Amino acid sequence: MKFTLSWLKDHLETEASLDEIVRTLTAVGLEVESVDDPAARLAPFTIAEVVSAEAHPDADKLRVLRVETGSGEPLQVVCGAPNARAGMKGVFAAEGSYVPGTGITLKPTKIRGVASNGMMVSERELELSEDHDGIIDLPDDAPVGTSYASWAGLDDPVIEIGITPNRQDCLGVHGIARDLAAAGLGTLKEGTVELVPAAFPSPVEIRTEDEEGCPALYGRVVRGVKNGSSPAWMQRRLRAVGLRPIDALVDITNYLMLDRARPLHVYDLAKLDGPLVARKAKAGETVEALNEKTYELAPSMTVLADDAGAHDIGGIMGGERTGVSADTTDVLIECAYFDPVSVARTGQALSLYSDARARFERGVDPGFLEGGIELATRLVLDLCGGEASDIARAGTPPTEKKIVSYDPALCASLSGVDVDEAEQARILSELGFDVDRAFPWSVTVPLWRRDVDGAADIVEEVIRIHGLHTVPSTPLPRGEGVAAPTATPAQTMERRVRRALAARGLDEMITWSFVSDAEAEAFGGTSFRLANPISADLVAMKRSALPSLVSAARTNLDRGARTVRVFELARRYLDDGERPTVGILLAGLSREKDWRTGNEAGFDIFDAKAEALAALAAAGAPTDNLQVQAGASDWYHPGRSGRLMLGPKTCLAEFGELHPRTARAMDVGGRVAAAEVFLDAVPAAKGKRARPAFAPPALQPVLRDFAFLLDQAVPTADLVRAVAGADKSAITEVRLFDYFEGAGVPEGKVSVAIRVTLQPGDKSFTDEELSAISAKVVAAAEKRGATLR
Amino acid sequence: MTADIDQQTADWLARIAAADSPSDVEALRVEALGKSGAITAQLKTLGKMSPEERQTTGAALNRMRQEVQAALTSRKEALEAAELDRKLTEEAVDVSLPVDHGRTGSVHPVSQVMDELAEIFADLGFAVATGPEIEDDWHNFTALNIPEHHPARTMHDTFWFPKEEGEDAPKLLRTHTSPVQIRTMTDGEPPIRIIAPGRVYRSDSDATHTPMFHQVEGLVIDRGIHMGHLKWTLETFVKAFFETDDVELRLRPSYFPFTEPSAEVDVRCSFAGGKLTITSDGDDWMEILGSGMVNRRVIEMCGLDPSVWQGFAFGVGIDRLAMLKYGMTDLRQFFEGDLRWSGHYGFSPFAVPTLSQGVGA
Phi, psi of B265 (to 5 degrees): -120, 125
Determine the distance in angstroms separating the CA of B254 from the nearest CA of chain A, rounded to an integer.
5
CA A125 to chain centre: 36
Look at residues A516, A680, A533 and name the one whose alpha carbon lies nearest to residue B172: A533
Q: Do both A724 and A654 map to the same domain?
A: no
Q: Do both A568 and A673 map to the same domain?
A: yes
Say what the ipTM of the complex is.
Answer: 0.88
Q: CB-based contact (8 Å) between A551 and chain B?
A: yes
Query: What element of type H or E holds A707?
Result: strand A702-711
Q: Do both A385 and A424 map to the same domain?
A: no
Q: Do both B300 and B240 map to the same domain?
A: yes
pLDDT band at B334 (very low <50, low <70, confident <90, very high): very high
Q: Do both A277 and A419 map to the same domain?
A: no
User: Would the CB atoms of A468 and B252 count as touching at under 8 Å?
Assistant: yes
Which residues of A carry a binding-site annotation?
451, 457, 460-461
Residue A744 has a CB neighbour count (10 Å cut-off) of: 8
Locate all alpha helices (DSSP H) within A698-766, ordered by sequence.
716-724
Beta strand A109-111 pairing with B310-317: unpaired
Look at residues A448, A436, A424, A306 and name the one whose alpha carbon lies nearest to residue A369: A448
Amino acid B166: pLDDT: 84
Q: Do both A438 and A507 map to the same domain?
A: no
Residue A309: exposure state from Cβ atoms within 10 A (0-12, 13-18, ≥19): middle
Three-state DSSP class for residue A60: strand
Whole-angstrom Cα distance, residue A264 to residue A333? 7
Q: Which one of A453, A509, A567, A591 would you mutate to disrupt binding with B, by most B Cβ within 10 Å of its Cβ?
A: A509
CA distances from A221 to A267, A336, B145 (A): 9, 15, 42
User: Would the CB atoms of A416 and B228 count as touching at under 8 Å?
Assistant: yes
Looking at the 3D structure of chain A, how many domains does it have?
6
Q: Do both B314 and B236 map to the same domain?
A: yes
Phi, psi of A788 (to 5 degrees): -70, 135
Look at residues A150, A129, A160 and name the one whose alpha carbon lies nearest to residue A4: A160
Residues of chain B found within 8 Å of residue A531, distances taken between Cβ atoms: 160-162, 170
Q: B125 near A476, Cβ under 8 Å?
A: yes
CATH code, domain with B178: 3.30.930.10
Q: Do both A508 and A645 map to the same domain?
A: yes
Chain B residue with Cα closest to A339 = B149
Q: Do both B127 and B269 map to the same domain?
A: yes
| Gyration radius of chain B over CA positions | 43
Taken in order A748, A753, A757, A758, the sign of the CA dihedral is positive
Look at residues A295, A315, A320, A368 and name the one whose alpha carbon lies nearest to residue A208: A315
Position A638: which residue type? P
Determine the distance in angstroms separating the CA of B218 from the nearest CA of chain A, rounded to an integer.
13
Whole-angstrom Cα distance, residue A234 to residue A229? 10
User: Would the CB atoms of B151 and A165 count as touching at under 8 Å?
Assistant: yes
Phi, psi of A460 (to 5 degrees): -60, -45
- Residue range B206-238, pLDDT digits in tens: 777 899 999 999 999 999 999 999 999 999 999
Amino acid B101: pLDDT: 86
Asked whether residue A73 is assigned to any structural domain, the reply reads: yes
Q: Is the pLDDT of residue B205 over 70?
A: yes
B260 annotated ligand binder:
yes
Determine the distance in angstroms separating the CA of A87 from the nearest CA of chain B, rounded to an integer.
50
DSSP bridge partners of A573? A578
Long-range pairs of A233-242 with CB within 8 A, sequence gap ≥ 24: A233/A153, A234/A383, A236/A153, A236/A154, A236/A156, A237/A4, A237/A6, A237/A7, A237/A156, A239/A128, A239/A129, A240/A2, A240/A4, A240/A38, A240/A156, A240/A158, A241/A2, A241/A3, A241/A4, A241/A158, A242/A2
Residues of chain B found within 8 Å of residue A417, distances taken between Cβ atoms: 227-228
CATH code, domain with A283: 3.50.40.10
CATH code, domain with A123: 2.40.50.140
DSSP bridge partners of A34? A160
Q: Do both B42 and B14 map to the same domain?
A: yes
Last residue of a domain, one of B30, B63, B90: B90
Asked whether residue B97 is assigned to any structural domain, the reply reads: no
Residue A203 has a CB neighbour count (10 Å cut-off) of: 12
Quote the domain boundaries for residue A180. Answer: 2-37+157-188
Q: Do both B42 and B173 map to the same domain?
A: no
Locate all alpha helices (DSSP H) within A478-546, ordered by sequence.
489-503, 517-522
Whole-angstrom Cα distance, residue A280 to residue B306? 41
Look at residues A162, A173, A29 and name the one whose alpha carbon lies nearest to residue A467: A29
Asked whether residue A480 is assigned to any structural domain, the reply reads: no
Determine the distance in angstroms separating the CA of A156 from the nearest CA of chain B, rounded to an integer.
25
Q: Do both A655 and A775 map to the same domain?
A: no
Average pLDDT of the segment spanning B10-17: 92
Residue A63 has a CB neighbour count (10 Å cut-off) of: 21
CA angle A783, A786, A789 (to 5 degrees): 135
Give yes or no for a cis peptide into A440 (omega within 30° of 0): yes
Amino acid B174: pLDDT: 96
Chain A, 331-350: which have a CB under 8 Å from a chain B CB?
340-341, 344-345, 348
Locate all alpha helices (DSSP H) within B37-174, ordered by sequence.
38-44, 51-53, 59-91, 109-123, 137-140, 151-154
Last residue of a domain, one of A395, A426, A445: A395
Phi, psi of A101 (to 5 degrees): -70, -25
CATH code, domain with A776: 3.30.70.380
Q: Do both B72 and B172 map to the same domain?
A: no
Whole-angstrom Cα distance, residue A777 to residue A770? 11
Look at residues A304, A512, A507 and name the one whose alpha carbon lies nearest to residue A395: A304
Q: Do both A261 and A302 map to the same domain?
A: yes
Look at residues A269, A264, A236 and name the one whose alpha carbon lies nearest to residue A250: A264
CA distances from B321 to B124, B237, B238, B245 (A): 19, 12, 10, 17
Last residue of a domain, one of A361, A395, A429: A395
Chain A, 711-770: which have a CB under 8 Å from a chain B CB?
none
Asked whether residue A686 is assigned to any structural domain, the reply reads: no
Looking at the 3D structure of chain B, how many domains does it have?
2
Asked whether residue B360 is assigned to any structural domain, the reply reads: no
Q: Do both B129 and B77 map to the same domain?
A: no
Amino acid A453: pLDDT: 86
Beta strand A276-280 pairing with A302-306: antiparallel
Chain A residue with Cα closest to B106 = A507
What is the length of chain A? 789
Last residue of a domain, one of A470, A497, A519: A470
Q: Say which of A478, A487, A510 has its CB closest to residue B108.
A: A510
- Residues 6 or more apart in contact with residue B41 via CB below 8 angstroms: none
Whole-angstrom Cα distance, residue B294 to residue B315? 12
Q: Do both B321 and B260 map to the same domain?
A: yes
Q: Do both B53 and B172 map to the same domain?
A: no
Position A360: which residue type? F
Q: CB-based contact (8 Å) between A482 and chain B?
A: no
Asked whether residue A193 is assigned to any structural domain, the reply reads: no
Quote the domain boundaries for residue B225. Answer: 109-343
Look at residues A719, A730, A738, A742 and name the one whose alpha carbon lies nearest to residue A770: A730
Amino acid A54: pLDDT: 87
Give yes or no for a cis peptide into B132 (omega within 30° of 0): no
Amino acid B60: pLDDT: 87
- Residues 6 or more apart in contact with residue B155 via CB below 8 angstroms: A165
Q: B19 near B79, Cβ under 8 Å?
A: yes
Amino acid A193: pLDDT: 80
pLDDT band at B361 (very low <50, low <70, confident <90, very high): low
In total, the C-beta contacts within 8 angstroms joining chain A to chain B are: 252
3 state SS for A211-231: CCCCCEEEEEEEECCCCCCCC
Q: Say which of B125, B255, B339 has its CB closest to residue A564.
A: B339
- Residue range B129-159, pLDDT digits in tens: 999 999 999 999 999 998 877 766 766 689 9
CA distances from A412 to A167, A432, B282, B297 (A): 24, 22, 31, 19
CA dihedral of B321, B324, B329, B335, whole degrees rounded to 10: -20
Whole-angstrom Cα distance, residue A458 to residue A30? 17
Q: Do both A244 and A364 map to the same domain?
A: yes
Q: CB-based contact (8 Å) between A28 and chain B?
A: yes
CATH code, domain with A633: 3.30.930.10
Determine the distance in angstroms separating the CA of A241 from the nearest CA of chain B, rounded to an integer.
23
Q: Do both A526 and A438 map to the same domain?
A: no
Three-state DSSP class for residue B1: coil
Q: CB-based contact (8 Å) between A31 and chain B?
A: yes
Q: Do both B53 and B176 map to the same domain?
A: no
Residue A419: exposure state from Cβ atoms within 10 A (0-12, 13-18, ≥19): buried
Average pLDDT over chain B reads 91
Q: Do both A388 and A418 map to the same domain?
A: no
* Segment-wise mean pLDDT, segments of 10 residues, chain A, 789 residues: 94 94 95 89 88 86 88 86 88 88 86 87 83 85 88 87 91 96 93 86 93 95 94 91 93 96 94 92 90 91 92 90 90 95 90 92 93 95 94 94 95 95 97 94 95 92 96 92 86 95 97 96 95 93 96 95 96 95 96 91 96 96 92 95 95 97 91 96 82 90 94 90 92 94 89 95 92 94 91
Q: Do both B73 and B115 map to the same domain?
A: no
Looking from the CA of A20 toward its CB, the CA atoms found within 13 Å total 10
CATH code, domain with A174: 3.30.56.10
pLDDT band at B1 (very low <50, low <70, confident <90, very high): low
Q: A347 near A353, Cβ under 8 Å?
A: yes
Asked whether residue A201 is assigned to any structural domain, the reply reads: no
Q: Do both B132 and B185 map to the same domain?
A: yes
Looking from the CA of B306 toward its CB, the CA atoms found within 13 Å total 19
- Residues 6 or more apart in contact with residue A524 via CB below 8 angstroms: A543, A544, A633, A634, A635
Look at residues A340, A336, A345, A209 and name the one whose alpha carbon lies nearest to residue A277: A209
Residue B336 has a CB neighbour count (10 Å cut-off) of: 17
- Residues 6 or more apart in contact with residue B167 via CB below 8 angstroms: none
Whole-angstrom Cα distance, residue A381 to residue A390? 14
Amino acid B91: pLDDT: 93
Chain B residue with Cα closest to A24 = B252
Amino acid A125: pLDDT: 87
